[in-house]
Structure 1
Amino acid sequence: MWDPKVIKAELIKRGSSLSRAALVRGLSESACRVALNRPLPSGERAIAEELGVDVREIFPERYIQKEAE
């Protein structure tokens, strides 16, 4: 389960952070932090890319519903 604490811990384990994931992709420093709390596709993608995981795995509730429509 990818809850915010797990995401942050995994980023730290890999030598990264939410801020770094955003900044290296040209996003505002807070984009990934915002994405943990509410839908922000650019921040969600940045987190997923930094972790090497499909965005739908990390935020399934945000994408499964869209795909079903």
Structure 2
Amino acid sequence: MKRILVTGGNKGIGLATVAKLLRSYDDTHLILGSRNKERGEEAVGSLIRGNGDWKERLVTVEIDVESEDSVK
């Protein structure tokens, strides 16, 4: 299974990218990156409510690409 990290995945283009990848590729596991863990979890919940089959293929991680400590 492929693993894809999408930063900024909790809103806007990032969230749309996560949804598109989940719809298009059944062999992917998506890691939704968000600067705020709570907002990331809300986005994951929203996606899962839209398609319960995605639950096993979707997780969130708190990450700020502008922070060197965050991406280590």
Q: What TM-score, normalized by structure 1, do the two folds share?
A: 0.31
Q: Which has more strand, going by share of residues?
A: 2
Q: Which has more helix, going by share of residues?
A: 1
Structure with the bigger RCO (C-alpha within 8 Å, sep 6+) is 2
